Amino acid sequence: MEFIEILDKQADIDTLRDMYENIFYPAFPNDDERESLENLAQYIQEGYELENRHIVCLKAANALVGCMILTYFHEADIGYISYVAIDSKHRRKGYATAMLKEGMRMLTQDAKMIGKSLKYIFGEISNDNPQSAHMLDRAGFKILDLDYIQPPLGENKNASDELNLVVLSNDHEGIPANDVKLFIKVFFQRALSIPQHIKNKYINEMTERIGADAYIRLLNIIPD
């Protein structure tokens, strides 16, 4: 297995297009939950001062078999794994778990490079994706007991309430609500290619949904 991070080179742009068409697009058929190819290309062509963004492919047997997209937000000291996808012909071979472990390693390293210790790793899972649910459950992620809504990912897309917010935390019972609010703020502000007034709308919406509770309870992804 070989992990390849896509950078701003023509060969990598070609790999990005191949990955998107053959792995990413089929793995996320819901258009409202899938980043556009244009957005992903923009991620690797622009410089960012307040976060590290990574698009990583997994190569095995001389073929692309998987991809992953993740971000480290400096100001919050929080990581976010937005997508892990495996080619349908190469599933049930441990590749998804290997990619998730690599993503966790990269985010931890991002934090170390600026003298911090990674506080949390957040992610999202669809209500109808049992494979991702089992993978994240085995890795120790928990679902936040929260009515979550993902803002639209771009023009002509809709917000989604079909996702759950999950987190990897040292505390398996609950995490401070203010930490969740901070993640939502930096995630919506930094990682979404939508107008500012729409970002603000959903930040305010999620802040209201969290309310005044001091902690947000964490639940098992796979119920006991």
pLDDT in tens, 3-21: 989 887 777 888 899 999 9
Tell me what pLDDT residue 2 has: 92
Tell me what pLDDT residue 34 has: 87
CATH number at residue 23: 3.40.630.30
Tell me what pLDDT residue 67 has: 94
* Full domain range(s) for residue 137: 2-220
pLDDT in tens, 20-79: 999 999 988 888 888 889 888 888 777 667 789 999 999 998 889 999 999 999 999 999
Tell me what pLDDT residue 162 has: 87
Tell me what pLDDT residue 219 has: 96
Tell me what pLDDT residue 47 has: 63
SS3 204: helix
pLDDT in tens, 134-188: 889 999 999 999 999 999 988 788 998 889 999 999 988 999 999 999 999 999 9
Top pLDDT among 46 and 190 is at 190
pLDDT in tens, 91-125: 888 999 999 999 999 999 999 999 999 999 999 99
Top pLDDT among 50 and 84 is at 84
Amino acid at position 76, single letter: A
Is 90 exceeded by the pLDDT of residue 1? no
Tell me what pLDDT residue 185 has: 95
Is 90 exceeded by the pLDDT of residue 205? yes
Tell me what pLDDT residue 191 has: 81
Q: Is the dihedral of CA 160, 162, 123, 216 positive or negative?
A: positive
Tell me what pLDDT residue 51 has: 86
pTM across the whole model:
0.92
Amino acid at position 182, single letter: L
Edge-first strand listing for the sheet containing 78-86: 2-5, 51-60, 63-73, 78-86, 120-126, 163-168, 142-144, 215-220, 174-176
Q: Which residues contact 125 (CB under 8 A, 6 or more apart)?
A: 132, 133, 136, 143, 163, 164, 166, 221
Q: How many domains does the chain have?
A: 1
The arithmetic mean of pLDDT across residues 210-219, rounded, is: 94
Tell me what pLDDT residue 165 has: 96
Beta bridge partner(s), residue 58: 3, 66
